[in-house]
Structure 1
Amino acid sequence: MTTPDRAPTRRTLLVLMVPLMLVLFLANLDQTIVAAALPTIGRDLDSASGASWVVTAYLLTSAITTLILGKLGDMYGRKRVFQFSIAVFLAGSLLCGLAPGIGALIAFRALQGIGGGGLNSLVQAITGDLVPARRRAAWQALTGVVATLALVAGPLLGGAFAEGLSWRWIFWINLPIGVAALLTVAAKLHLPRPTAARGRVDYAGAALVAALTTAALLVTTWGGTTYSWTSPVVLGLLAATVLALFAYVRAERRAAEPLTPPRLFRSAVFDLAGLQFFLATLVLFVGMLHVPMFLETVQHTTAFTAGLYVIPLLLGLVAAAMISGPLIARTGRYKVYPVLGSLLTGGAMLWLAQWDAATGPFGLITPLVVAGAGLGLFVQVSLLAGQNAAAYADLGAATGTLNFFKSFGGAVGAALFGAILTHALAHGTALAAFHTVFLWTLPFMGAALLAALAMREKPLSEEMREVAAGEVEVREY
């Protein structure tokens, strides 16, 4: 991709950055806005057991298309691919709001995720195209602020819409903002086209990883609940998972530009970082989705009030990541943080398993802040350690691969623990069912602790110190 001959003026840059920030806000908002409304959606569509897949479908498709759309932007021009991503995201949003049943809603959320996968990475890349290097840090800091505000605002808006209007407005709210951004981008954003198509897109790898992750998710959610472990359906899915895994590994070894370069996985540090990212996000989504459900089901709060209680979890996460980043940049040491994070999160989730109908605000908020802080330490270190283990030439691919583990962890957390809750509700009270859900996070935090202890601390490179300090952003492809 070539760069503009001259940097845009401050006024022009502001006109362009506003729609980019709006798109970034929507992309991050959709990761959390559904959380507080899931119980309402489940009741309205008469499918409480399938509601968690509304989250899972979006995370799965967006994880895969992030890498594909980023590469297509490099090859064919970021403006066109960005417009395509916005259009697909808006089409999915419109259809989600019109969905007549849970199956249609899940399908339309998958469509929305296809577009959503390109928004974050392309906003970052276009910002790099527009803003000169000397002014880039300030704008990149702004993107971080916008993303954080969207994550925190999501539960509030989701609860407010579900309670005051309709859960369908959770998706329709994207339309006026997204259309305005799309029109502004079409009229005002002028980026040079690539002089020649560069590289190849690993479509085979993308298709195989989609088949692999979907089959694996269905095994974990259907096995022992919807179907017995020895049923033809579950055994068939297990066989499909194994076959897809072998085919994916073979395809990535033969691909000219693989989606996840096999050489990345030769580093034990990278492997353990990916595992920690997966486990941390899995537990994060358990908290984000099941805390509002607990409050609405057991304490009979409104959807809006339930959404408020997701905010302490997210604030704890953001604060821990912001504090640990500069400390890591200054000392170059990071191994202690995921060890501490696993202990904090595990203890907090054990506290959540003691909640009951009479637990007050202090007893609700305190463990959520602690859990968020513990997960924030994981998120920061997993990304840095994994990036630091990769060669500089592989930094973009490493970042994209790690973020795929993050998204897949969220998808597994939503689907697997939704199945655990459904099974527990069929065999006991609602209170006991939520206790079961929160307690089942402990083995995953135990695995995260073992991974943290086993990970060798490799000295941070100078580039990674700058990333940790928030001075440099790394593109995801």
Structure 2
Amino acid sequence: MSQTPTAAKTEPGLSSTGMTHRQVMQSLTGLLMGMFVSILAGTVVSTSLPVIVSDLNGDQTSYTWVVTATLLATTVSTPIWGKLADLANRKLLLQLSLLIFVIASAIAGFSQDTSMLITMRVFQGLGAGGLTALTQIVMADIISPRERGKYMGLFGAVMALGTVGGPLIGGFITDAINWRWNFFIALPFAALAIFLIQKTLHLPALSKRKVSIDYAGIVLLSAGVSALLIWVSLAGNDFQWISATSAWMVGGAIVALIGFVIVEFKVSEPIIPLSMFKNRTFTLSVIASISVGVSMFGTSVFLAQYMQLARGANATQSGLMTIPMMAGLLIISTIAGALISKFGKWKAIMVTGSVLQLTGLYLLGTIHYDTNFVLVSTYMFLLGAGLGMVMQNLVLIVQNAVTPAEIGVASSGIAFFRSLGGTIGVSVLGALMATKIADILGSRSAELGAAIAALGEQGKDLAASLAAGNIPAVHGLPDSVRTIIESSYGDAVAHIFMVAAPLSLLTILAVVFMPNLELGTQTRHEREQTDAAAAAASDPDAELHAAETNLVQVSEAALAATPHLDDKNTPARS
């Protein structure tokens, strides 16, 4: 007789799944490596982006879209991957998403202009959407919510390692070799991840059922979200905020999103089941995830610009200077995960984290180009600590609050709204920064013009580049111009942090009002078995129906195995 889940829990050294810690870790090896690859390939270029965009003759809008393209594709594809995970082989989907990601990364290394780079970043985002959704879903397959806290800490540590190591490696490669090699570095890690997933990841088999994919929902969601984000990025530069073009883009986006909502109510397998918003935990987690996305992605993008354009750091130095934020995320997420697993309590930790998120963003909104770096480091650490206590645990509590059948789409839904928050945040904050830097430089045009004129012939190319809106290589500028540029970018970056800070109030309110549900001790598979047993027990005729079905199956099998007579009295069976 097969061992029941409760029996498995009584044996020493076993988790609630009946797996030892070693077996769980073996199963997670490829998963962690895949996650590390996706983070590394994304962060390795973060400190190099000012150099890359400058080398490809891009402007602030191009800089924003190099980041936004990946986030947008990740946002749109995450719920699609999550839905596929409920319908198809998760291991195969993981490997496919990883393959898409790294091939796009490799091609991006050959970019000749920002358009080609942005296109490849879209494909990177498609793969990243799969990795983002599937890693969380697979975790629910093999680890119970109560135990998941300590493993979430491990995921947080891998995330921080990739986030810290990526900028350092990327900065070193950019300064020592060439920025193009940043896009090739993930290839050997990706090959290893695909191999490890194949060898070590063993998942419960999905029950066979008819697959139905919501193609209309996919198209409408993609069109609506993309149109809004493209409008935010281009309005104010390519056309006016209030104009016929804006009306067409916003109107089209609204029509597409309304159509998406209508379709989701009607189809049998919706991408984002709107009925899930009846679940209070899910709804509040969506609100918190949007705010967390703005904080996580917005700060990581613009902190790199602050370090290089406001403090004159090169790519390697920029990576080193962002370590305090990632150290906060790494250390505190690991500690928080261990505490949640040990005590089974999550709410106090997440409320504390959301307050730290608000505090860190507000303090970063007060910095200038010459602020004492010890203070800047402290502010970054506080923000990282807050994100580490909230971000991964939002997925954990949602998985704990929904039914087993909804875990895949719920997990990807939270990741979707976090990415959506990040995408909107980077787009809006990027547009605000482009406007702010233009205003600041405009107000100092006389001072800047005099400094450039004093350079003689050397200043002509610089003047033309600044007039075109191109991002300058600050550390190579003459001191007279450099101080003006640094102070201008320093004030502009601080401005967008201050704008983002109030959004963190949403995280605090959402976490405070979440139901304080106890964390379960069963995996997704065990919950399905328990729910099935409970349903059978509540139906007085269930046992009789099962016996009748079993008797019919046995009779049919016996009849099929009996030799058929074929004589003149008994007709032959066809």
Q: TM-score range by the shorter chain?
A: 0.7 to 0.9
Aligned-partner Cα distance in 2 for 1:377–1:133: 16
1:36, 1:159 within 8 Å by CA — same for their partners in 2? Answer: yes
Shift of 1:384: 5.2
Alignment of 1:62-101 (within 5 A): 62-101=74-113
1:33, 1:156 within 8 Å by CA — same for their partners in 2? Answer: yes
Partner residue in 1 for 2:162: 150
Aligned-partner Cα distance in 2 for 1:395–1:188: 23
Amino acid corresponding to residue 508 of structure 2 in structure 1? A
Offset from partner CA, 1:77-125 (integer Å, 9 cap, x none): 3343333223212220121111111111111111122122223444566
Instruction: Please say which of residues 293-302 and 143-152 is displaced more in the overlay.
Output: 143-152
1:202, 1:258 within 8 Å by CA — same for their partners in 2? Answer: yes
Aligned-partner Cα distance in 1 for 2:21–2:236: 59
- CA 1:133/1:412 → structure 2, altered by over 3 Å: closer, same or farther? closer
2:509 to 434, 447, 453: 453
Aligned-partner Cα distance in 2 for 1:142–1:162: 29
Aligned-partner Cα distance in 2 for 1:386–1:136: 12
2:286 to 274, 279, 282: 274
Shift of 1:304: 0.9
Partner residue in 1 for 2:181: 169
Shift of 1:171: 1.3
Larger Cα-atom Rg: 2
1:16, 1:189 within 8 Å by CA — same for their partners in 2? Answer: yes
1:26 to 28, 37, 43: 37
2:153, 2:338 within 8 Å by CA — same for their partners in 1? Answer: no
Partner residue in 2 for 1:438: 494
Aligned-partner Cα distance in 1 for 2:499–2:220: 29
1:35, 1:292 within 8 Å by CA — same for their partners in 2? Answer: yes
1:361 to 366, 373, 385: 373
Offset from partner CA, 1:156-206 (integer Å, 9 cap, x none): 122222222222222111223323444666688788976735542323222
SS of the residue aligned with 1:426? helix
Pairing 1:44–2:100 present: no
Aligned-partner Cα distance in 2 for 1:433–1:415: 17
1:277, 1:383 within 8 Å by CA — same for their partners in 2? Answer: no
Alignment of 1:176-325 (within 5 A): 176-182=188-194, 196-267=208-279, 269-325=281-337
Aligned-partner Cα distance in 1 for 2:391–2:136: 19
- CA 1:384/1:145 → structure 2, altered by over 3 Å: closer, same or farther? closer
- CA 1:385/1:10 → structure 2, altered by over 3 Å: closer, same or farther? closer
Instruction: Give the paired residue count.
Output: 461
2:114 to 96, 102, 114: 102
Amino acid corresponding to residue 276 of structure 1 in structure 2? A
Amino acid corresponding to residue 33 of structure 2 in structure 1? L
SS of the residue aligned with 1:173? coil
SS of the residue aligned with 1:75? coil
Q: Which runs of 5+ in 1 are unaligned?
A: 1-6, 473-477
Amino acid corresponding to residue 208 of structure 2 in structure 1? A
1:314, 1:372 within 8 Å by CA — same for their partners in 2? Answer: yes
Aligned-partner Cα distance in 2 for 1:137–1:389: 15
Aligned-partner Cα distance in 2 for 1:358–1:136: 43
SS of the residue aligned with 2:324? helix
1:35 to 27, 43, 46: 46
Aligned-partner Cα distance in 2 for 1:265–1:51: 35
Shift of 1:271: 2.9
SS of the residue aligned with 2:440? coil
Instruction: Please say which of residues 260-269 and 184-193 is displaced more in the overlay.
Output: 184-193
1:389, 1:458 within 8 Å by CA — same for their partners in 2? Answer: no
SS of the residue aligned with 1:25? helix
1:115 to 127, 149, 173: 127
Aligned-partner Cα distance in 2 for 1:444–1:190: 42
Pairing 1:371–2:427 present: no
SS of the residue aligned with 1:253? helix
Partner residue in 2 for 1:4: none
2:145, 2:519 within 8 Å by CA — same for their partners in 1? Answer: no
Offset from partner CA, 1:337-387 (integer Å, 9 cap, x none): 44x555544443343344334334312211111222233344256445655
Pairing 1:400–2:456 present: no
2:98, 2:127 within 8 Å by CA — same for their partners in 1? Answer: yes
2:350, 2:511 within 8 Å by CA — same for their partners in 1? Answer: no
Amino acid corresponding to residue 53 of structure 2 in structure 1? G
Aligned-partner Cα distance in 1 for 2:276–2:180: 42
- CA 1:451/1:81 → structure 2, altered by over 3 Å: closer, same or farther? closer
- CA 1:382/1:168 → structure 2, altered by over 3 Å: closer, same or farther? same
1:82, 1:118 within 8 Å by CA — same for their partners in 2? Answer: yes
2:347 to 312, 322, 334: 334
Amino acid corresponding to residue 245 of structure 2 in structure 1? V
Aligned-partner Cα distance in 2 for 1:122–1:104: 28
Amino acid corresponding to residue 513 of structure 2 in structure 1? E
Aligned-partner Cα distance in 2 for 1:383–1:18: 20
Shift of 1:236: 1.2
- CA 1:156/1:98 → structure 2, altered by over 3 Å: closer, same or farther? same
- CA 1:355/1:138 → structure 2, altered by over 3 Å: closer, same or farther? closer
Amino acid corresponding to residue 319 of structure 2 in structure 1? G
- CA 1:51/1:417 → structure 2, altered by over 3 Å: closer, same or farther? same
1:269, 1:455 within 8 Å by CA — same for their partners in 2? Answer: no
Instruction: Please say which of residues 250-259 and 434-443 is displaced more in the overlay.
Output: 434-443
Aligned-partner Cα distance in 1 for 2:137–2:107: 28
- CA 1:58/1:246 → structure 2, altered by over 3 Å: closer, same or farther? same
- CA 1:232/1:345 → structure 2, altered by over 3 Å: closer, same or farther? same
Instruction: Please say which of residues 245-254 and 277-286 is displaced more in the overlay.
Output: 277-286
- CA 1:12/1:217 → structure 2, altered by over 3 Å: closer, same or farther? same
- CA 1:196/1:59 → structure 2, altered by over 3 Å: closer, same or farther? same
- CA 1:100/1:221 → structure 2, altered by over 3 Å: closer, same or farther? same
Offset from partner CA, 1:416-472 (integer Å, 9 cap, x none): 2222222222222443344234333434432432563366634433336899xxxx9
Aligned-partner Cα distance in 2 for 1:198–1:353: 52
1:424 to 428, 436, 452: 436
- CA 1:349/1:462 → structure 2, altered by over 3 Å: closer, same or farther? closer
Offset from partner CA, 1:116-155 (integer Å, 9 cap, x none): 2223444566677789999999877655543332222122
- CA 1:294/1:465 → structure 2, altered by over 3 Å: closer, same or farther? farther
Shift of 1:292: 1.8
SS of the residue aligned with 1:427? helix
SS of the residue aligned with 2:109? helix
Instruction: State the TM-score, normalizing by the size of structure 2.
Output: 0.70
1:352, 1:367 within 8 Å by CA — same for their partners in 2? Answer: yes
